[in-house]
Amino acid sequence: MIDEILSLVDKHEEWRGKKCLNLIPSENVMSPSVRRLLSSELGHRYTARDRFYMGTRFIDEIEEYGEKIAKEMFKADTADLRPLSGHIADLIFLANFSKPRDTFMCVSPEDGGYPGMWNEGLAGLLGLKAVAFPFSKNDMNIIVEEAEETIRRVKPKVVVFGASLITFPHPVKELAKIAKEYGACVGFDGSHVLGLIAGEQFQDPLREGAHVLLGSTHKTFFGPQGGIILADKEHGELLKSKVYPAFVDNAHWNRIAALTLALAEMKEFGRSYAQQVIRNAQTLAKALHEYGFPAVCPHLGFTRSHQVILNYGGYEKGRKIAEKLQEANIIVDCAVRIGTCEVTRRGMRESEMLKIAELLKRVIFDREDSEKIKAEVAKLCSEFQNVKYCFDK
């Protein structure tokens, strides 16, 4: 039994870790030191705010250290590393600033909003009435004037910016003020773009009027998988007092240690990483567009994030494209979103983006033999096995 389990993981590591071109925008790679901390002794331990457990002195110091870096980096009054995922961070936020039958606004899943927040997800769970931001698919953004009108009409208790498909900064500056005038609590779900916000290359939601910035720590951020909440004093302190006992008890302290180091990496290397992620996405989008791929928003320069979106008009066609690429060990999702976060962290730059665009073209348009492409993908990946933008040499 043990051999089978170990062998499955080994096979996965060999395939996804070494042979595949990983272009999923919700994924990234951790540095060797962050990975080490994730499997450290802390993974066996408990700590609690009321000091119920003995033996926690180092764990508590690590958490404090991580919170300190996070507060400085995001210029937030409070930071909470305990949410076990971006989804749980969303739950903590929505559950504490709304009550059943309240109205809340976010980007609809049809327009690229996070489905986990919509009716089948948290809105349904919490009994909220979800109202979609008016959205332009052509510009991949919220339509400001219409959104103002909707806010006036529905008077939402909570407004959440951010989305799963996000190529351009959302108009927080333009809309937060009016949402607040009508009594809303304003959040920004930065799950996808947290690393770009940390590197000061996207937008700065807390300065633009959001009360709370929340999200995952492993998409554009440097991992491990988990969640984070950053906020102003009033909202942050309230949330901190509610995380336990309602939402998270054991925060998985090995994860907190790994996240603390990931935060330190981001503080040191985040700016140059985020700049390169965006340059790579723009280069890749332009090259794909020139080959004839349906990259969205050519009139806006395609993207200002880590995502390049290819519009195949739905998951059915998208899945066919994604499956075809998978045959050649090029991994994307069915949206079809292509992310440059992981390949950038592995050290790839503009010239590799041109190569990737060419590989995609040869799979999809030229229908070249996938075994031949696979060999080229493996060669490209073998040259970029080390994680960059970290303290490890």
Question: Could you list the residues that contact ligand PLP (CB under 6 A)?
Answer: 26, 85-87, 90, 114, 116, 162-164, 189, 191-192, 216, 227
Identify the bridge partners of residue 284 per DSSP, sorted by sequence position: none
Q: Tell me which residue has its CB nearest to ligand PLP.
A: 86
Nearer to ligand PLP, 102 or 189 (CB): 189
CB of 390 to ligand PLP, least distance (A): 21
Nearer to ligand PLP, 66 or 328 (CB): 66
Give, to the nearest 10 degrees, the angle between helix 253-291 and helix 350-364: 70
CB of 312 to ligand PLP, least distance (A): 19
CB of 89 to ligand PLP, least distance (A): 8
User: In a 3-state reduction of DSSP, which class is residue 2?
Assistant: helix
User: In degrees rounded to 5, what are phi and psi of residue 172?
Assistant: -65, -45
* Structure tokens given for 20: 């595949």
Check residue 298 and report its DSSP letter: G
CB of 24 to ligand PLP, least distance (A): 10
Nearer to ligand PLP, 192 or 289 (CB): 192
* Structure tokens given for 92: 């903590």
Straight-line distance from the first to the last Cα atom of the chain, in angstroms, rounded to the nearest whole number: 36
Pair 142, 172: CB distance under 8 Å: no
Q: CA-to-CA distance for 27 and 223, rounded, in angstroms?
A: 9
User: In a 3-state reduction of DSSP, which class is residue 225?
Assistant: coil
Nearer to ligand PLP, 22 or 26 (CB): 26
CB of 169 to ligand PLP, least distance (A): 14
Nearer to ligand PLP, 142 or 364 (CB): 142
User: In a 3-state reduction of DSSP, which class is residue 337?
Assistant: strand
* Structure tokens given for 321: 């494209």
Nearer to ligand PLP, 283 or 307 (CB): 307
- Report CA 238 to chain centroid distance, whole Å: 24
CB of 187 to ligand PLP, least distance (A): 11
CB of 113 to ligand PLP, least distance (A): 7
Q: CA-to-CA distance for 13 and 134, rounded, in angstroms?
A: 42
Nearer to ligand PLP, 115 or 127 (CB): 115
Pair 277, 220: CB distance under 8 Å: yes
